[in-house]
Amino acid sequence: MKKIVTVKYVILLFCIVGLGACKVPAITAKQENKSVPKGYNNSQDTTNSANIKWRAYFTDPNLIAIIDTALLNNQELNITMQEIEMSKNEVMARKGEYLPFVNLGLGAGVVKAGKYTWDGFSEDDLKENPDKGPKYIGEFFTAANFSWELDVWKKLRNAKKSAVLKYLSTTEGKNFMVTNIIAEIAESYYELMALDNLLAIVQQNIELQTSALQVVKLQKDAAKVTQLAVNRFDAQLLNTKNLQYDIQQRIIETENRINFLAGRFPQRIARNSADFNKSPLDMIQSGIPSQLLVNRPDIRQAELELSAAKIDVQVAKANFYPSFRLTAGLGFQAFNPLYLIKPESILYNLGGDMVAPLINKNAIKATYFNANLQQIQAVYNYEQSILNAHIEVVNQLSRIDNFTKSYETKSKEVEILTQSITISNNLFKSARADYMEVLLTQREALESRMQQIEIKMKQMHAKVNIYKALGGGWN
């Protein structure tokens, strides 16, 4: 009867410990907001340019070849690929934690007890009676040990789910990196073509101004103008010559930026810049904002990280509950290896244990609170990625519209000023215009043509960036 009462007290003690351990502090979670406007500029057309493959969006074969090289050799991308493999291995590790562990052990050794121990006393006894046993005792064994933590609260399985989501998020991060690399290469490629055209314009103006300088020198010899006019024309020619050196340096740096992204040493970038001003700006279909949640890799990455953070809270919460483990062992042990195979040498054990935190749970609480705060951070990060994506699309749509109008206006200005150069030269030759008018017209025409090229470059950059903003380029 007394034994039954003792068992009851032991069971009651376990219940008290279990209930005390299972008490979980209250936390405040945050729910993410996925709402976005219905359309851009009141348009609700679902046709989306992001669905176009990048090889079809960028039709220049030279640009496509560079991008292909970069996707193979870019060091940053290859570093990310290794991180993805590490995340994959983490999934394997988390999966292994909730499976049983079986270990095989072998051992051998000899033991001699000290003289003034009970075992040593027995050895002294053996000296007087040598037939009783060996002076040195052997220790030989072979055994298999089994252990298995019972995942009662799904802590280990949730940890594996979290690792899977983090692995998927790194994959989306790689896709976003691919999008950025393609966009950066395309931007630099169009910038390189624009610089080629700027250099060509400057060189054309150098020829034009050199010819004008010769005319002014002849007029000075004929006493029609003074040395001041010659100096002004000469100074403008030198200024224009100086422009080409800056452009040539920018070309070198832009080429090497592309080479760096392509993972190769400096070399010339193949391109055809002759028709840069005629580069088409295809009609962009922006679709609707809700498509960003599916098309943008960075948004999908943030969403997966949020899902993983939510599961991490559950994993941290499970640390408050008792953990259960089964252990077992089976093997052979003997003081002589010849006896290992005998049935009398068999040993085995079977047990189970429950471990629960009772006093000083500060570390568990801190982990739990931090997991919850990380989940809240992930919510804000997810919402920020959606907001950022929407603003990027709106900005790029506006840039395309405004740069298209600006290019049309600037083209008319270039046409007028190009005509004005011929007119001013003819008037100057007939002494009906001052040389300052010729200089001013040449300078304005040069600046206008250079501005036209820069606007075209901004147009092409907007074409690249709207594609990236909509979520295109990674597929």
Q: What is the pTM of this model?
A: 0.85
pLDDT in tens, 27-73: 877 899 999 999 997 778 889 999 999 999 999 999 999 999 999 99
Place of tokens 């292994």: 96
Total domain count for the chain? Answer: 2
- Please indicate, yes or no, if residue 240 is contained in any of the structural domains: no
Co-location of 44 and 185 in the same domain:
yes
CATH number of residue 169's parent domain: 1.20.1600.10
pLDDT in tens, 384-441: 999 999 999 999 999 999 999 999 999 999 999 989 888 887 887 777 777 778 888 8
Token digits for 130? 């040598």
Average the pLDDT over each of 3-17, 129-143, 237-251, 438-452 and give the range with the smallest value: 3-17
**Cα-Cα end-to-end distance for the chain:** 75
pLDDT at 82 exceeding the cut of 90: yes
Q: How confident is the model at residue 7 (pLDDT cuts 50, 70, 90)?
A: very low
Q: How far apart are CA 117 and CA 247, in angstroms?
A: 92
pLDDT at 10 exceeding the cut of 50: no
Which whole number is the average pLDDT over 188-192? 97
Compute the mean pLDDT over every residue in the chain, rounded to the nearest whole number: 87
Q: What's the pLDDT score for residue 222?
A: 82
Token digits for 192? 């390189």
Co-location of 441 and 328 in the same domain:
no
DSSP state of 291: G
Q: Within 10 Å of residue 112's Cβ, how many Cβ atoms?
A: 11
Q: Which of 340, 355, 370 is the last residue of a domain?
A: 355
Co-location of 107 and 159 in the same domain:
no
- Please indicate, yes or no, if residue 247 is contained in any of the structural domains: no
Q: What's the pLDDT score for residue 1?
A: 47
Token digits for 225? 């103008």
- Please indicate, yes or no, if residue 85 is contained in any of the structural domains: yes
Residue of 245, 205, 250, 261 lying closest to 71 (CA atoms): 261
- Please indicate, yes or no, if residue 87 is contained in any of the structural domains: yes
Q: How confident is the model at residue 134 (pLDDT cuts 50, 70, 90)?
A: low
Q: How far apart are CA 473 and CA 288, in angstroms?
A: 18
CATH number of residue 335's parent domain: 2.20.200.10
Co-location of 85 and 134 in the same domain:
no
- Please indicate, yes or no, if residue 113 is contained in any of the structural domains: yes
Q: What b/e sequence results for 399-424 when a residue is b if at least 16 CB atoms lie within 10 Å of its CB, and e otherwise?
A: bbeebeebbeebbebbeebeebbeeb
- Please indicate, yes or no, if residue 201 is contained in any of the structural domains: no
Co-location of 286 and 433 in the same domain:
yes
Q: Which range among 32-41, 92-101, 167-176, 279-288 has the greatest average pLDDT?
A: 167-176
Co-location of 128 and 64 in the same domain:
no
Q: How confident is the model at residue 139 (pLDDT cuts 50, 70, 90)?
A: confident
Q: Within 10 Å of residue 470's Cβ, how many Cβ atoms?
A: 26
- In order, the DSSP letters of 10-44 are HHHHHHHHHHHHH---------------S-BTTB-
Q: Which of 355, 376, 404 is the last residue of a domain?
A: 355
pLDDT at 466 exceeding the cut of 90: yes
Max distance between CA atoms of the chain, in angstroms, equals: 140
376 touches 356 (CB < 8 A): no
Q: Please state at what angle helix 297-318 crosses helix 155-221, rounded to 10 degrees.
A: 150
Structural domain for 464, as ranges: 21-97+153-191+272-321+358-470
Q: How far apart are CA 22 and CA 462, in angstroms?
A: 57
Task: List strands edge to edge, sheet with 101-111.
Answer: 101-111, 137-150, 323-334, 346-355
Q: How far apart are CA 209 and CA 216, in angstroms?
A: 10
- Please indicate, yes or no, if residue 200 is contained in any of the structural domains: no
Co-location of 371 and 447 in the same domain:
yes
- Please indicate, yes or no, if residue 66 is contained in any of the structural domains: yes
Query: H-helix or E-strand containing 454?
Result: helix 435-470
Co-location of 396 and 349 in the same domain:
no
Token digits for 209? 């101004």
Query: H-helix or E-strand containing 378?
Result: helix 362-429
Co-location of 47 and 145 in the same domain:
no
Co-location of 346 and 364 in the same domain:
no
- By the 10 Å C-beta count (0-12 exposed, 13-18 middle, 19+ buried), 229 is classed as buried
Co-location of 461 and 339 in the same domain:
no
Co-location of 146 and 103 in the same domain:
yes
Q: Which of 338, 355, 372 is the last residue of a domain?
A: 355
